[in-house]
C-alpha cells in the first residue's frame, strides 16, 4: 500500500515477471504517514510536532507485533530527512508527495545516515558504545543521523546505562527511534528521555477494508465473510492479516471462500457454532452432542470448537450490554442477527455461567487424553448447570418455601430432604414444582386463580401420566424447570396471552418474535405434558407480556421507594445520588409478590428480583 510518489516496486511484476515474489506484508508496507492505517493519534501528534518545530530527540514506539512499529520508525526517518533535488524543502515534513533524495535508500534500509540495529542480537554494552562513538560525527549527506533500535527492551542493564547520557544530551544532528513490544521492560530512566507513542491494535473493520483494497490490487476475488475471518484471526496485527491473506490466496488457488479460510485456519463453521450454542441454551443436550460430533467428524478440533463457542458467548454478552456491537461488519450477517436475538432472550446470569464453564472446560480439554470426550462433558455441564440458581437464590427459595418442598427456579430445583420411596412402588410424579399464586385475586394471565400443577395418578392401563397445566404462567414455570432458556424467554417476552385452555394456547406475537417458534412450542408442550397442544397466533391485542408486567412492577417499586420520606432525606443529603436497587428484607405474602406468578424467585428477564 504505497502512495503516488512511492518508488517503483519490482514486486508488482506478475508471475511471468522476472522479479522474485515477495510476500504481501513486505510488498504493501507503508512508505508515508498517509499509508498508515489505524494510527490516527500518532500521525496527528507527529504532524503537529513537525509543523511547530517541536521535534524531540528520541521516540519510543510500543505495541503488539505487526501494528507497524518498525515501519513507523522508517517513515519518521524519511520525514526527518525529506529533501527535494531542487532544494524546495528546507526542513522536516510529513508531506512527502513524491520521492525525495534519500527516500528510496531509507525505505530499503541502506542509507548510511539511518542506522538500524536489532537489539535482540546486539544486547551488550559494546554495541551501545559504538553508537555513542559514532553519534558525535555529523551525517554524511542527510539532514539528521537517525538511529532505529528495534526490540530495545532486549538490551542489557549495562547497555541501557551506557545509553543514558547520549540519549539525554544528543548532538543536534542525531535522532533516536526505539521500538518494543515489552514497554514494561524498558527502564524508567530511558522512558523519561523519550516521547512515547502507543500504536494501537487495528480494528477488524479497518483491517477488512485494507485487505479488500489489497485483494483488488492483486486481482483476487475474496468473499467479505472470508475477510472478516482473517481480520478477526489477526487480532489487530496488520502484518499477521497480510500473512494470512497471502496464505489464503495460495490455499484457494482462485476465488477465496470463507469455508476454505476456515479449513485453512482449523476453525469451525460459525453457523454451526451458533447452532451448538442454541442447543445448549435450549438445554437440548442430544442435539448439542450431535452437532459437536458432526463438527468433530469433519475435522474440527474440540478445543477450537469450545474456543469459538466462548467467543460467540462473549459476542452475545457484548451485544446485550451494547447493542451497537451487532453492527460490526467484521462479523457475518447471520452471526449478528442471531446474536441480537439471543441477547434479547438470554439473561446475563446464563451467559456469564456459560462463559465461566467454557473457560474452565477449555483448560480441561487441553490437558485431557481424550479431548473429544472431555469436550462433550463440558457441554453436558453447560446444558444442565448454566441456568441453575445461585447459592443465595437457592437459600432464599428454600426459606420462602418453608425449607421442605422442591422449588423450581431458573431451570434448577432444590432437592427435598425427605427420603425417596423405592422406584418400583412410587407413583410417577412430574418434576414440576408447585407455583405460588394469589388466593384472592384473579390471575393477570390465566383468568381465575391458578391451582397448583399436579400430576394425576397413572392410568391403570399403563399409559404415560399427563401433566395438568391450567394457566399460562404454569407453562412458563414448566419451561424454566425444563431448563429451556429460549422457550422461557420467548413465552415471557415475545408472546401476549389472548386465551388459555388446557391443551390450547392462543397468543399474539411481539413484532420481533420468531414465527417459527409456534410449531416448536406445540411439540415441546406435548413432550413435557404428555398430551397434545394447539398453539394459535391471534390478531387480537392480547394482555401485556409477563416481562412488561414485571418491569412495571419494578418501576412501581422504585417510585414507592423514592416517595418514602426517609429515602428522600437520604437523597437530599447526598446530591447526585439515586435509587438503584430495592430489596425486601423479609419474605412477603404471595399476594404482593409479583414474582410469585412466575413460579420462581427470578423475574422473567433474568434479573435479580427487585433490582432497578
Q: Give all domains of the chain, ordered by start, each with its CATH number.
A: 31-198 (3.40.50.300), 204-265 (1.10.8.60), 270-385 (1.20.272.10), 465-612 (3.30.300)
Residues 322, 237, 123, 103, CA torsion sign: negative
Q: How many CA atoms lie within 13 A of 549 on its CB side?
A: 21
Nearest to residue 151, comparing CAs of 133, 115, 169, 178? 178
pLDDT of res. 452? 38
pLDDT of res. 268? 62
Cα→Cα distances 445→123, 345, 472, 505, 556, Å? 76, 20, 6, 12, 20
pLDDT of res. 499? 85
pLDDT of res. 198? 87
pTM for this structure? 0.54
- Residue 506 main-chain phi, psi, to 5 deg: -115, 125
The number of beta carbons lying within 10 Å of the beta carbon of residue 112 is: 12
Find the length of the chain: 612
DSSP reduced 3-state for 501: strand
Which parts of the chain sit beneath pLDDT 50?
1-16, 403-464, 589-612
Q: pLDDT per residue over 376-433, tens digit each?
A: 999 998 888 755 666 666 676 676 665 444 443 333 333 333 333 333 333 333 333 3
- Residue 419 main-chain phi, psi, to 5 deg: -65, 145
pLDDT of res. 35? 82
Q: CA 545 to CA 475: how far, in whole Å?
A: 14
Do 204 and 228 meet the contact criterion of CB atoms below 8 Å apart? Answer: yes
DSSP reduced 3-state for 232: helix
Which cell is 96 given? 512527502
Contacts 24+ apart (CB under 8 A), 573-580: 579/612, 580/611, 580/612
Per-residue DSSP letter, 13? S
Do 225 and 331 meet the contact criterion of CB atoms below 8 Å apart? Answer: no
Residue with cell 510529513: 94
Q: CA 563 to CA 582: how far, in whole Å?
A: 13
Do 476 and 604 meet the contact criterion of CB atoms below 8 Å apart? Answer: yes
Amino acid at each position: 500500500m504505497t502512495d503516488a510518489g512511492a518508488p517503483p516496486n519490482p514486486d508488482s511484476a506478475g508471475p511471468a515477471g522476472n522479479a522474485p515474489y515477495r510476500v504481501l506484508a513486505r510488498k504493501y508496507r507503508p512508505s508515508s504517514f498517509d499509508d498508515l492505517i489505524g494510527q490516527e493519534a500518532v500521525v496527528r501528534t507527529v504532524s503537529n510536532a513537525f509543523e511547530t518545530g517541536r521535534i524531540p530527540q528520541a521516540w519510543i514506539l510500543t505495541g503488539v507485533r505487526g501494528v507497524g512499529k518498525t515501519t513507523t520508525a522508517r517513515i519518521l526517518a524519511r520525514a526527518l530527512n525529506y529533501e527535494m533535488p531542487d532544494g524546495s524543502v528546507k526542513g522536516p515534513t510529513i508531506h512527502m508527495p513524491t520521492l525525495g533524495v534519500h527516500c528510496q535508500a531509507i525505505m530499503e534500509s541502506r542509507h548510511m545516515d539511518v542506522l538500524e540495529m536489532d537489539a535482540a542480537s546486539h544486547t551488550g554494552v559494546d554495541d551501545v558504545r559504538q553508537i555513542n562513538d559514532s553519534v558525535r560525527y555529523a551525517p554524511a549527506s542527510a539532514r539528521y543521523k537517525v538511529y532505529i533500535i528495534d526490540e530495545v527492551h532486549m538490551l542489557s542493564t549495562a547497555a541501557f546505562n551506557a545509553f543514558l547520557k547520549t540519549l539525554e544530551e544528543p548532538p543536534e544532528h542525531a535522532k533516536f527511534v526505539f521500538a518494543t513490544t515489552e514497554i514494561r521492560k524498558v527502564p524508567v530512566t530511558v522512558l523519561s528521555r523519550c516521547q512515547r507513542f502507543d500504536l494501537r491494535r487495528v480494528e477488524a473493520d479497518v483491517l477488512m477494508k485494507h485487505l479488500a483494497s489489497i485483494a483488488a490490487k492483486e486481482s483476487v476475488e475474496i468473499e467479505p465473510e472470508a475477510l472478516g475471518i482473517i481480520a478477526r484471526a489477526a487480532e489487530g496485527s496488520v502484518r499477521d492479516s497480510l500473512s494470512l491473506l497471502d496464505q489464503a490466496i495460495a490455499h484457494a488457488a482462485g476465488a477465496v471462500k470463507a469455508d476454505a479460510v476456515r479449513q485453512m485456519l482449523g476453525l469451525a463453521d460459525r453457523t454451526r457454532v451458533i447452532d451448538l450454542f442454541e442447543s445448549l441454551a435450549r438445554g437440548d443436550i442430544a442435539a448439542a452432542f450431535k452437532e459437536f460430533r458432526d463438527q468433530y467428524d469433519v475435522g474440527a478440533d474440540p478445543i477450537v470448537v469450545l474456543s469459538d463457542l466462548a467467543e460467540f458467548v462473549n459476542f452475545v454478552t457484548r451485544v446485550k450490554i451494547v447493542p451497537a456491537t451487532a453492527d460490526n461488519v467484521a462479523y457475518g450477517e447471520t452471526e449478528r442477527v442471531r446474536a441480537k436475538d439471543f441477547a434479547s432472550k438470554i439473561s446475563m446470569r446464563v451467559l456469564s455461567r456459560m462463559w465461566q464453564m467454557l473457560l474452565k472446560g477449555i483448560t480441561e480439554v487441553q490437558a485431557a487424553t481424550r479431548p473429544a470426550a472431555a469436550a462433550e462433558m463440558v457441554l453436558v455441564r453447560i446444558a444442565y448447570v448454566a441456568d441453575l440458581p445461585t447459592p443465595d437464590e437457592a437459600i432464599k427459595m428454600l426459606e420462602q418455601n418453608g425449607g421442605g418442598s422442591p422449588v423450581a427456579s431458573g431451570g434448577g430445583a432444590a432437592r427435598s430432604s425427605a427420603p425417596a420411596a423405592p422406584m418400583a412402588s412410587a407413583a410417577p410424579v412430574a418434576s414440576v414444582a408447585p407455583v405460588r399464586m394469589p388466593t384472592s385475586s384473579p390471575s393477570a394471565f390465566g383468568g381465575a386463580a391458578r391451582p397448583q400443577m399436579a400430576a394425576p395418578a397413572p392410568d391403570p392401563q399403563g399409559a404415560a401420566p399427563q401433566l395438568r397445566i391450567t394457566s399460562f404462567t404454569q407453562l412458563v414455570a414448566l419451561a424454566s424447570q425444563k431448563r429451556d432458556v429460549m422457550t422461557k424467554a420467548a413465552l415471557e417476552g415475545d408472546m401476549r396471552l389472548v386465551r388459555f385452555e388446557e391443551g390450547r394456547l392462543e397468543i399474539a406475537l411481539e413484532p420481533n418474535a420468531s414465527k417459527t417458534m409456534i410449531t416448536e412450542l406445540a411439540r415441546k408442550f406435548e413432550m413435557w405434558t404428555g398430551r397434545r397442544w394447539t398453539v394459535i397466533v391471534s390478531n387480537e391485542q392480547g394482555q401485556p407480556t409477563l416481562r412488561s408486567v414485571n418491569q412495571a412492577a419494578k418501576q412501581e417499586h422504585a417510585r414507592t421507594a423514592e416517595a418514602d420520606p426517609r429515602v428522600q432525606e437520604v437523597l437530599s443529603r447526598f446530591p447526585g445520588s439515586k435509587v438503584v436497587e430495592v430489596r425486601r428484607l423479609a419474605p412477603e405474602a404471595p399476594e404482593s409478590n409479583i414474582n410469585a406468578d412466575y413460579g420462581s424467585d427470578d423475574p422473567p428477564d433474568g434479573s435479580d428480583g427487585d433490582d432497578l
